[in-house]
Structure formats: structure tokens, C-alpha cells
Structure 1
């Protein structure tokens, strides 16, 4: 169970996130929605401790995330993987090495620096790539791939961390419709196969309604909606997004999510 209690984050006396309290049971697929600048990215980054809360507490089961530092904080970031809009891959390195970076917390620093990966680590990374149909790209430089391929590599890297939760910050913002579906199907499959909690910032309400079990709506840093996708009516969406509502309520026919296509990734989680 992930629990946020009265979490604030201020920048120069301006609230990016204000008074957010919520509980997220393990195994949930939660969409975080709201207009640009609503505090969605800051919220996810605080959970991962890339940004420290100004006030309040974040707990995961019996772990006080807000008090972690040093190795304990690195361990938490391994358990709570991040996926970014801009992929955050090392472009000059090959795909397999980028995925293996997700295993850094499980090997010694000297071995990681010398890229002395075990056969088990390589097998886990290749298995993840195979699941996302990109094992044939393992030897290619990451910066030679398309945006959709790079995001699948980033998801594979997150999965080999063997996380308890995955935080996806606008993971499909720069992708075309086909790759959007591939990436969202991948996140849903991970959630359903392994029971890994997924928190995903999304711009499209149709995608949020189609993939998520629960939606959290933010406005001006505050939590203003928390409920099932069916409860997010068009009227509520207009209140949440204001003038941006027309951009996110496209009502294009949503492709049915594929929860179980292919074999499950052979990763111990």
C-alpha cells in the first residue's frame, strides 16, 4: 500500500503540490490526469524521491519513503521504477546495455562500471526485450531507434529492476497512435501479469478511461478528483480541464487493451 499524507511541494513559495493525501493499494493501475502544470509530474517525482516533499509523508507499507537517504534511498528507487516522457536512455550505448542498467542496484559498483554482467542478468534483460518484440535490436545503439522502440526499451529497463511499482510520467506524449497502444498495452500487461502497481500520468482521457482502474485528477497542485473511470463524466472533465477539455476529450474509438498477449516475461518479481 502506497500512502501519501498531506504532501506539499513548494518552489519559491509557490505550491506545485498542495495537501495531497491518498492511498493506493498494491496492484492498482492508476491514471493521474489534469492540465499542464497541475502538479502531476511533481507528484510522481516525489514518490520516487527525485524531488523531496516540502511537507507531509510518503509511506510504502512499513517504509517511510520521506526519511530515506543513501543506500536505502537507492534501494527504494530500484523498487519504484520511473519511466520518462523522453525515455532517458544512453543513446551511445546498445539496447541490451541500457536495459541492463536496470540491474545496477543488484550488482557491485566495480562490476557495473566494467559492465561485467552475469549470464542471469543478460538472460533477464533479453527476456524483457523479447516480450516487447525488440530482442532483435539488442545490439543496436539506443539513439538509432524510433520513439516507440526507445520507450519499450525504457519499460524493459524498468521491469528488470524487479520493482514493486512503476511510475510513468507522460510515457506516450511523443508517440504516434500505434506506438501509444503498444506502450499502454505493455504497461497494462506488466500490471496484470505481475501485480506491479502502475501510476501513469496521461493527457488523453479516453486512454485513461480505457486502461486505468482508478483516476486521480489534479488541478493547481491539489487533488480534485479520485474515483473510477466511469465516474469521470464529461462535465467533471470540463471542470477539471477548463478550456483544455476539448483537446483531451477526443472520443476516438479506443483500441481494446491487450492484457495477456504473448508469454509473461521470465523475471522474478
Structure 2
């Protein structure tokens, strides 16, 4: 279980994340929602330790993540994979090499620098690409792919890390509706098939309601909503977004099809 206890991140006098306490059960798919600047990205970056907490603790099962340093911290970042809004691929390299970067924590530095990947490692990377229906792109340069294809490459890279948690920071923010569906479908399948815990920052309430088992809403760095998607009523939305309204980012019928195939068929208790 992932346990956040009074997790805080301050920038000067301002608290970007303010005493957040959450228990996230293994295998859950949690959507983190809220306005821009609510603290969503900072929260995920602290869990991965890309941002240092100003206070509070992060625990994964019996491990104190906030106390990790050196190699144990690098190992945690491999087990807690990040997917970013801007993909973070190396554009001049081919897709397969970008995916193999997810194995860096598992191989000696000289092998990775010289690209001396084993047959087994290449097979793992190709299997991840096949899983995401983009194995045919393995030899292409990453910068020649569409945004949706690049994000699926980034997901494949995270998958070959063999993570226990995937943190997806606005993974569909720059994508069109079709690629939004493809990327969210991919995350939903990974969650179901591998039992990997997923925390996903999302702007679109429509997407969040259809894919996530649980929603955590942040406003000014604090948790103001925590519950199942069907519990997010108009009053809760106002607390999160004020008077802002949102149009669906993806056609409802497409979302319904994805939802029926996702883990929402299983009961979720939080």
C-alpha cells in the first residue's frame, strides 16, 4: 500500500502541496484532479522523489520512501515509473532504444552507454511495444512519431522498468480525442493485466470519471475530494473548479466502450 502522511511541499511561504494524507491500495487506478496549479504534478513528483517533501512521509508497504538515498532511491524510481506530459523521449534515437532506456537501472553503465543490450532485453522491449500495438515502429526515430505514438512509447519504456507503481503526469494533455482514448486504454489494460498501481493526473473530468476507480481532488494543495467517480457531484466540482465548466474531451460512446473493458467491473474499496 502507498501511504502519504501529512505530505507537504513548500516554495517559500507558499504550500504547493499542503499536508496531504492518502492511502492507495495496490492495483488501484486513481485519478488526481483539480485546476492548474492545484499541486497535482508536485504531488506525483514527490512520490517519485523528483521533488523533495518539505514535511510528511511517503511509505510503500513497509518502506520509508522519504528516507531513501543513493542506490536505494534510484531503485525506487525504477519501481515507481513516471510518464510525463511531454513524453521525455530522445528524438534522434529509434523507438526501441528509447524503450530500452527503461532498463538502465538493471544493467551496468558501460553496457547502456555502448548500447550493448542483450537479446533478452531487446525481446522485453519489443514485447512492451507489441503490447501497445506499436511494435512496427521500433526502428523509427522517436521524433517522427505522432504525439499519441510518442506517449505510448513512453508507456512502453515505463513498462519495461517492471514497476510496482506508474505515475502519469497529465499524459493526455497535448493529445487529440483519438490518441487520448488510445493512451488511456493502454494504461487501463496495464492496470488490469499486471495489477500495477496507477496514479494519473488529469484535467478532463470526463476522462477521469470513465477510467479511474477513485478520484482525489486537490485545490490549493489540499485534498478537497476523495471518493468514487459517481460521488463527484456538482457541489464537489464547484469546490475543485469554481464556476468553470468542462466539455467532454472524448466522445462518451468511446469512453463507455473503454470503461466496460476496464477494471471498473471489479469492486473497489478505498
TM class by shorter-chain length? over 0.9
Which position in structure 2 is the counterpart of 1:76?
Answer: 76
Indicate the SS of the match to 2:242.
Answer: helix
Indicate if the aligned counterparts of 1:39 and 1:221 stay in contact, CA closer than 8 A.
yes
**Aligned-pair CA distance for 1:249:** 6.1
**Partner deviation per Cα, 1:114-141 (whole Å, 9 max, x = no partner):** 1111111100100111111111111111
CA shift, 1:100, in A, is: 0.1
Describe the shift of the 1:227–1:248 C-alpha distance in structure 2 as closer, same or farther (beyond 3 A). farther
Q: Which residue of the partner structure matches residue 215 of structure 1? A: 215
CA distance in 1, matches of 2:198, 2:250: 24
Per-residue displacement from partner, 1:172-215 (whole Å, max 9, x unpaired)? Answer: 00000000000000000000001000000011111111000000
Match of 2:258 in 1: 257
Separation of aligned partners in 2, 1:260 and 1:76: 31
**CA distance in 1: counterparts of 2:176 and 2:71, whole angstroms:** 38
Corresponding residue pairs, total = 260
Residue 191 (structure 1) aligns with:
191
Compute the TM-score of the two structures, normalised by the length of structure 1.
Answer: 0.94
Structure 1: runs of 5 or more not aligned: 262-269
1:34 touches 1:203 (CA, 8 Å); kept in 2?
yes
**Residue matched to 1:143:** 143
Match of 1:19 in 2: 19
Q: Which runs of structure 2 are paired with 1:33-48 in the superposition (5 Å)?
A: 33-48=33-48
CA distance in 1, matches of 2:171, 2:20: 23
Consecutive unaligned residues of structure 2, counting only runs of 5 or more, are 263-270
In 2, distance between residues paired with 1:259 and 1:220?
34
Cα distance between partner residues in 2 of 1:248 and 1:242: 15
Match of 2:265 in 1: none
Q: Are the equivalent residues in 1 in contact too, given 2:167–2:200 (CA < 8 A)?
A: yes
Paired residue for 1:237? Answer: 237
Alpha-carbon contact 2:181-2:250 (below 8 Å) kept: no
CA distance in 2, matches of 1:258, 1:182: 13
Matched residue, 1:159: 159
Cα deviation for residue 243 of structure 1 reads 3.0
Instruction: Determine whether 1:85 maps to 2:85.
Output: yes
The DSSP-based 3-state class of the residue aligned with 1:257 is helix
Distance 1:237 1:248 in 2: 13
Q: 1:44 offset after TM fit, Å?
A: 0.2
* Secondary structure of the structure 2 residue equivalent to 1:150: helix
Partner of 2:266: none
- Aligned CA distance change for structure 1 residues 131 and 51 (closer, same or farther; 3 Å): same
Structure 2 length normalisation: TM-score? 0.93
1:237-259 alpha-carbon deviations (Å, 9 max, x no partner): 12211133x12667952522167
**Kept after mapping to 2: 8 A contact 1:80/1:167:** yes
SS in 2 for 1:26: coil
